[in-house]
Amino acid sequence: MQRRDLVRAAALAPLALSLPSLRAQGAWPQRPVKFILSQPAGSGPDILARYVGEQVARGWSQPVVVENKPGGQNVIGAQAAARSPADGYTFYYATTAAMVTNAYTFKALPYDPVKDFVPVRLVGRSAFVIAAGPAFQGTSLADAFAQAKAQPGKLTIASEGPKTFSGMLADAVAGMAGATFNHVPYTKAPDALQDVLGGRVELVCLPEAALKAYLQGGQVRALAVSSPQRLPQLPNVPALAETFKGFEYTGWNALFAPAGTPAEVVERVNRDLEAALKQPEVAQRLQALGSLPEQRMTVAEFDAFMKSERERWGTLVKTLKIEAQ
């Protein structure tokens, strides 16, 4: 009997040792989950990331902590995320610039958007707005084009820089109209808006979410939106597609994980995000924040979406003749 007990105990030992790891896998997450963000606190992406994090955390019994690492045209935050442990507790809440356009506007990046990350899920798409401040002498985008044509390079527009998402939008639109804007680059949307409100810059091009409060307060006037149709929250503002047929230029926000993150965690986060985004109140809130939620997208579908985005933006960069620096 004693020998049989010893044999049985020896046979069960590996299973006993494996139980803690199995329990740990099944109980993810066991501690707070971090979203790294390349934009500063109070920016449009920051507001979205915090709200999305709050919603998805409800099913995790663990909080989502947003860590802001702005600067370097998203490079600082993206690099920090890429170098984070691939343990399922750190994710990169990214925008189009960090994961697509930077690859075409930088000669060298300290991170690889393709190799250093695995796609988790698209959260939503966001329209950009071209708006006017008190210094702008006109009432429409047509007026802006007329002024920019009459005096090339004089009409100023605040953006995140000519090689950023908002800057490329401004240049793409001006180019199609045969005009030229004078870019005044900013690293923070609030700084750009302060100069626009103070009359030091005439126009501004930023995500709708970043401009929302200023548009509602009448401090800036929207001239056009970059979505293919007018936005429900700005029904009187024309879409750029009304001037340039077929034009669509929307950004997006999405979740990525450091390469090597367990596939089961990636799938779990994808499913939990989808469950949150399908909630009517969540969808309405995101839309109010300037992001149209993507209510259905698997990990594989998001991977295919990213490949198509890289191709699309590569073509646009060539069209605008933007040289990597």
Domain count, the chain: 2
What is the per-residue pLDDT for 14? Answer: 43
Neighbours of 322 (CB within 10 A): 17
Distance CA 287, CA 143 (A): 29
- Domain annotation covers residue 266: yes
- Domain annotation covers residue 36: yes
Domain match, 170 and 314 both: no
Domain match, 237 and 142 both: yes
Structure tokens at 233: 């929250």
- Domain annotation covers residue 24: no
- Domain annotation covers residue 10: no
- Domain annotation covers residue 16: no
Domain match, 139 and 205 both: yes
Q: Which long-range contacts (CB under 8 A, 24 or more apart) does 165-168 make?
A: 165/95, 165/96, 165/97, 165/101, 165/128, 165/251, 166/128, 166/205, 166/206, 166/207, 167/205, 168/101, 168/316, 168/317, 168/320, 168/322
What is the per-residue pLDDT for 16? Answer: 40
Task: Name the domain boundary from 242, 261, 286.
Answer: 242
What is the per-residue pLDDT for 26? Answer: 56
What is the per-residue pLDDT for 109? Answer: 95
Domain match, 230 and 257 both: no
Domain span holding position 148: 127-242
CA dihedral over 102, 104, 106, 110, signed as positive or negative: positive
Domain match, 65 and 138 both: no
213 in Cβ contact with 222 (< 8 Å): no
Domain match, 71 and 217 both: no
Domain match, 53 and 115 both: yes
Domain match, 134 and 238 both: yes
Residue 186 sits in a domain whose CATH number is: 3.40.190.10
Task: Name the domain boundary from 242, 260, 295.
Answer: 242
Task: Name the domain boundary from 191, 214, 242.
Answer: 242
**Helix runs in the chain, H state only:** 2-26, 44-57, 75-82, 96, 102-105, 141-150, 165-177, 189-197, 208-216, 263-277, 280-288, 299-319
| CA-closest candidate to residue 163, choices 308, 319, 320, 45 | 320
- Domain annotation covers residue 87: yes
Domain match, 231 and 142 both: yes
Give CA torsion, residues 160, 161, 165, 167, to 10 deg. Answer: 110
- Domain annotation covers residue 6: no
Q: pLDDT digits over 33-58, tens only?
A: 999 999 999 887 899 999 999 999 99
Distance CA 247, CA 242 (A): 8
Half-sphere exposure of 175 (CA within 13 A, CB side): 14
Residue 101 sits in a domain whose CATH number is: 3.40.190.150
Distance CA 312, CA 310 (A): 6
Q: Which residue has the tokens 């998805």?
A: 56
Which residue ranges in the chain fall short of pLDDT 70? 1-26
Distance CA 121, CA 11 (A): 42
What is the per-residue pLDDT for 124? Answer: 93
Q: pLDDT digits over 77-104, tens only?
A: 999 999 999 999 999 999 998 999 899 8
Neighbours of 266 (CB within 10 A): 20
Structure tokens at 167: 């800057």
What is the per-residue pLDDT for 243? Answer: 92
Structure tokens at 179: 């005009």
- Domain annotation covers residue 131: yes
Domain match, 149 and 233 both: yes
What is the per-residue pLDDT for 255? Answer: 98
Domain match, 114 and 76 both: yes
Domain match, 131 and 238 both: yes
Distance CA 265, CA 207 (A): 31
| CA-closest candidate to residue 225, choices 318, 136, 159, 130 | 130
